[in-house]
Amino acid sequence: MGAPVVVNNMNTEELQQTTTALMAGDKGLLAMDESLPTCNKRFQEAGIPQTEEYRRKYRQLIVTTPNLGEYISGAILFDETVYQSTDDQVLFMDVLHRAGIIPGIKVDEGTVEMPGHPKEKITRGLDGLTERLNNYYGLGARFAKWRAVITIGEGIPSDENIAANTKLLARYALLCQQADIVPIVEPEVLMDGDHTIERCYEVTEKTIKVLFTQLQAEGVYLPGLILKPNMVIAGKDCPVQKSTDEVATATVNCLLASVPPEVGGVAFLSGGQSPQEAARHLHAMHVKFDDKLPWPLTFSFARALQQPALELWKGKDENVKAAQDMLYFRASMASAARAGQYSVDIDN
Ligand code: 13P
């Protein structure tokens, strides 16, 4: 064994290995990193008590789902979950490792209104980030996530908002790589609103292009980085919703125009699409474009994997098995989509 390759104060070999493992086979990522307010909101909607113990029970249900590692390569956790254990005192981090699932961690600290831009958001979390990353690495995390939110509306997003959010993403990515942690960079263009698919394309392409300019300026190692983009899709309230083929084509064309080929992987968020829609779109991209894609293209869904299981669970012990079966099934459907082998006939 030679000495590790160290460039820009980072171990590129380890970063590359982690990225390859996360993108392996037909697997994808499970985002289970809902912040306290988001998790509580989902619980409230499903009639589940919003307490730390119920959050622990729910995350236990997820990480102990039998054979989830067949379809899931990595799970993104929230800080609270990193320190939680199963009923028999096994840390969730260890449960995941044993299941062959790499633990990751959300490290941004949520969004706030951008000063001077009341309708736009900026993400917080750079303070003390290196110390937190070193701590998480010691606990077994090998990748991280930072989400920036870009809102489409009247006169927005502004250039200032895109520049500020992507600058923060690039700083975060560099600090991650210097801590031997693979950064997932997530510039989410929201589906909220009545904008057209064309507008989503334009904003997504611009945001990702600016993001890669910033990442390259920071000296981020692109083969050791995963992009987590939105699909290119019309706003939820837009009267014109395009076909599966049109969404798949717009999304892949947008990414081919903006994401450098050396990037380690691309893993979509679901963003409010139903599990079936998200799977159909990913499947169509693979069927039509598989030989044109320079990077692995997979999923990193939260709602499109978890939501049906959460609704079955309802916070009740007697529903755990049914909820786990549903989570496993949704993961198998997302994986089939990545393989270009999904069909509505098998998804029922
Ligand atoms: P959704 O798949 O529910 O959009 O969540 C993905 C995610 O990680 C949001 O940050």
Summarised one tens digit per residue, pLDDT across range 60-111 is 999 999 999 999 999 999 999 999 999 999 999 999 999 999 999 999 999 9
Question: In the chain, how many domains are there?
Answer: 1
Q: How confident is the model over 309-314, as a mean pLDDT?
A: 98
Q: Is the pLDDT of residue 134 over 80?
A: yes
Q: What is the pLDDT of residue 348?
A: 79
Distance CA 334, CA 313 (A): 20
Task: Determine, yes or no, domain membership for 348.
Answer: no
Contacts of 211 by beta carbon, 8 Å cutoff, 6+ apart: 166, 169, 170, 185, 187
Task: Determine, yes or no, domain membership for 344.
Answer: no
Residue nearest to atom 10 of ligand 1 (CA): 147
Task: Determine, yes or no, domain membership for 346.
Answer: no
Percentage of the chain beyond pLDDT 90 is 97
Q: What is the pLDDT of residue 131?
A: 98
Task: Determine, yes or no, domain membership for 343.
Answer: no
Q: Exactly one of 34, 120, 186, 188 is catalytic; name it.
A: 186
The set of protein residues with a Cβ atom below 6 angstroms from ligand 1 is 31, 147, 186, 269-271, 301-304
Per residue, the 3-state secondary structure of 203-221, as one string, reads HHHHHHHHHHHHHHHHCCC
Distance CA 178, CA 266 (A): 21
pLDDT in tens, 183-219: 999 999 999 999 999 999 999 999 999 999 999 999 9
Task: Determine, yes or no, domain membership for 1.
Answer: no
Task: Determine, yes or no, domain membership for 108.
Answer: yes
pLDDT in tens, 7-64: 678 999 999 999 999 999 999 999 999 999 999 999 999 999 999 999 999 999 999 9
The domain that contains 300 carries what CATH number?
3.20.20.70
Residue nearest to atom 4 of ligand 1 (CA): 271
What is the best residue among 29, 77, 123, 301 to mutate for testing ligand 1's pocket, by most ligand atoms within 8 Å of CB? 301
What is the best residue among 269, 299, 310, 327 to mutate for testing ligand 1's pocket, by most ligand atoms within 8 Å of CB? 269
What is the best residue among 109, 192, 303 to mutate for testing ligand 1's pocket, by most ligand atoms within 8 Å of CB? 303
Q: What is the pLDDT of residue 9?
A: 84
Q: What is the pLDDT of residue 2?
A: 62
Report how far ligand 1's centroid is from the alpha carbon of 164 (Å): 21
Cα dihedral 155/159/161/167 (nearest 10): 170
Catalytic annotation present for 228 = yes
pLDDT in tens, 171-183: 999 999 999 999 9
Q: Is the pLDDT of residue 6 over 80?
A: no
pLDDT in tens, 152-161: 999 999 999 9
Alpha carbon 42 to its chain's center: 17
Q: What is the pLDDT of residue 256?
A: 98
Residue nearest to atom 5 of ligand 1 (CA): 302
Query: Which residues form the domain of 74?
Result: 6-338
Give SS3 for 325: helix
Q: What is the pLDDT of residue 8?
A: 76
Q: Is the pLDDT of residue 4 over 80?
A: no
Q: How confident is the model over 255-263, as a mean pLDDT?
A: 98
Q: Is the pLDDT of residue 1 over 60?
A: no
Q: Is the pLDDT of residue 272 over 60?
A: yes
Report how far ligand 1's centroid is from the alpha carbon of 230 (Å): 9
Task: Determine, yes or no, domain membership for 232.
Answer: yes
Task: Determine, yes or no, domain membership for 133.
Answer: yes
Q: What is the pLDDT of residue 5?
A: 66
